[in-house]
Amino acid sequence: MDGHGDGQSRWCLSQVKGAVDDDVAEADIISAVEFNHSGELLATGDRGGRIVIFQQEQENKSLPQCRAEYNVYSTFQSHEPEFDYLKSLEIEEKINKIRWLPQKNAAHFLLSTNDKTIKLWKISERDKRPEGYNLKEEDGRYRHPSSLTTLRVPVFQPMDLMVEASPRRVYANAHTYHINSISVNSDNETYLSADDLRVNLWHLDYTDRSFNIVDIKPANMEELTEVITASEFHPLQCNTFVYGSSKGSVRLCDMRASALCDQHSKLFEEPEDPSTRSFFSEIISSISDVKFSHSGRYMMTRDYLTLKIWDLHMESHPVETYQVHGYLRSKLCSLYENDCIFDKFECCWRGDDSEVMTGSYNNFFRMFEREGQRDVTLEASWENGSPGCPLKSWRVSTGSRRKRNEIGVDCLDFSRKILYTSWHPQENIVALATVNNLYLFQEKLN
């Protein structure tokens, strides 16, 4: 059911990042949004191969109404455009996924990937520098040794904070097809990367080898019927991972069962409803994202029109199904023609797993409360609603009557879509990307 809402939601706009002009360069299109494990840092990636990291400021005790803001912490070029001369193919620098490693020391580590190469980045702070060298002046000029009469010990003096990002590992040449997912294992030593036909397992320390754990490439490519669309490690069991397919199924694999996990341990697939079968059935059933709950008990899948929550103990059908934008069923023809039917929407869980959210078109995003069975449609817009003001919920109607905060299906702007979303792991703050802007929303505290 599309949200009714009593008008006002619990959410308010907190911040908007990025340019507000209409002229959007390809490079500025955001392609990844990810909070780190503490929620202190928020990373975004774009089609230009750049990563921008925001940091939550220390809480301002005098203003308890506003949670701390996110400000730029570091920005760097993660991937560059490349050309594969052997195959005459361009390799886009677009960042497909960012995944943070749990923090082990003062530095922060993240994995970022484009279509072909994964990189491990170290983001560290420097707030001291050595001063008082014997052979060098402060400006770097060398002193003549004969001018020295005494010796001194250099000491560390405070300096303006500098945040440095350096590539620590480059994991290359392991994927023939385009990488769509990376996922860090709970063992904090390994991670997986998945492309259209294969899933590989890496050890974070070794870049010269990778183990193939799933291979669905048919002997004859003419027989290809299914590709891998998303993959993730279980948050607690280091031997378990899942991968979703373009046919709407999710396979759970156990790495203890065999070295090559082509045989799944569990197959999650909802039987098709024959009465709604059409040309579009398979395309709209394609899994665009799969995410485990924080508890590890459930798994959420996103396909073109719905969000499904699965209990890992039951493969036959999901325990909950939420309609994201069912009104699009009557627009599938034009969505196929403009390629929107292939849009890959992500989804995310709230920290306590009680709510889930995902994006839609017209810069709408949808939030679903699991217990109360309530859902809401909100708009990411810097025009309507000032920071701190609660957002009004929207309705999409198929009829001709228009109430306030209602919009007709035919008026939806399919070029404005929210594909990437991330929920703060502890607080009720969500980050999402419209085409070229990053939006932060937070829940009203009272």
Footprint on this chain of another protein (rule: CB under 8 A): 17-19, 27-28, 30, 44, 46, 48-50, 52, 72, 75, 77, 80-81, 83, 87-93, 115, 177-178, 196-197, 221-227, 246-247, 275-283, 329-333, 336-337, 436, 438
Residue from 32, 130, 29, 19 nearest 432 by CA: 32
In the complex, least distance from residue 83 CB atom to another protein, rounded to whole angstroms: 7
Nearer to another protein, 114 or 393 (CB): 114
Nearer to another protein, 234 or 417 (CB): 417
Cβ pair 215, 251 in contact under 8 A: no
* Token digits of residue 222: 């003419």
Q: How far is CA 359 from CA 16, 20, 376, 417, 420, in A?
A: 17, 20, 12, 7, 7
In the complex, least distance from residue 84 CB atom to another protein, rounded to whole angstroms: 9
Residues 6+ apart with CB under 8 A from 144: none
Pairing status of strand 395-397 against strand 406-408: parallel
DSSP string, 64-83: TTSPPPEEEEEEEE----EE
Nearer to another protein, 312 or 341 (CB): 341
Nearer to another protein, 29 or 238 (CB): 29
Nearer to another protein, 211 or 280 (CB): 280
Count of other CB atoms within 10 angstroms of residue 60:
12
Nearer to another protein, 28 or 254 (CB): 28
Pairing status of strand 240-245 against strand 250-254: antiparallel
In the complex, least distance from residue 223 CB atom to another protein, rounded to whole angstroms: 7
In the complex, least distance from residue 286 CB atom to another protein, rounded to whole angstroms: 8
Nearer to another protein, 93 or 355 (CB): 93
Nearer to another protein, 211 or 327 (CB): 327
In the complex, least distance from residue 113 CB atom to another protein, rounded to whole angstroms: 15
Cβ pair 126, 140 in contact under 8 A: no
Rounded to a whole number of angstroms, the CA Rg of the chain reads 24
In the complex, least distance from residue 60 CB atom to another protein, rounded to whole angstroms: 22
DSSP string, 49-64: SEEEEEEEPPP-TT-T
In the complex, least distance from residue 118 CB atom to another protein, rounded to whole angstroms: 18
Distance CA 261, CA 199 (A): 9
Pairing status of strand 198-203 against strand 190-194: antiparallel
In the complex, least distance from residue 90 CB atom to another protein, rounded to whole angstroms: 5
In the complex, least distance from residue 379 CB atom to another protein, rounded to whole angstroms: 20
Three state DSSP letters for 138-202: CCCCECCHHHCCCCCCCEEEEEEEEEEEEEEEEECCCCCCCCCEEEECCCCCEEEEECCCEEEEE
Distance CA 414, CA 304 (A): 14
In the complex, least distance from residue 330 CB atom to another protein, rounded to whole angstroms: 4
Nearer to another protein, 72 or 314 (CB): 72
Cβ pair 330, 392 in contact under 8 A: no
In the complex, least distance from residue 233 CB atom to another protein, rounded to whole angstroms: 24
Nearer to another protein, 195 or 355 (CB): 195
In the complex, least distance from residue 30 CB atom to another protein, rounded to whole angstroms: 8
Decide: helix, strand or coil at residue 437.
coil
Distance CA 41, CA 22 (A): 28
Cβ pair 301, 245 in contact under 8 A: no
411 alpha carbon, distance to own chain's centre: 28
Nearer to another protein, 194 or 356 (CB): 194
Nearer to another protein, 142 or 279 (CB): 279
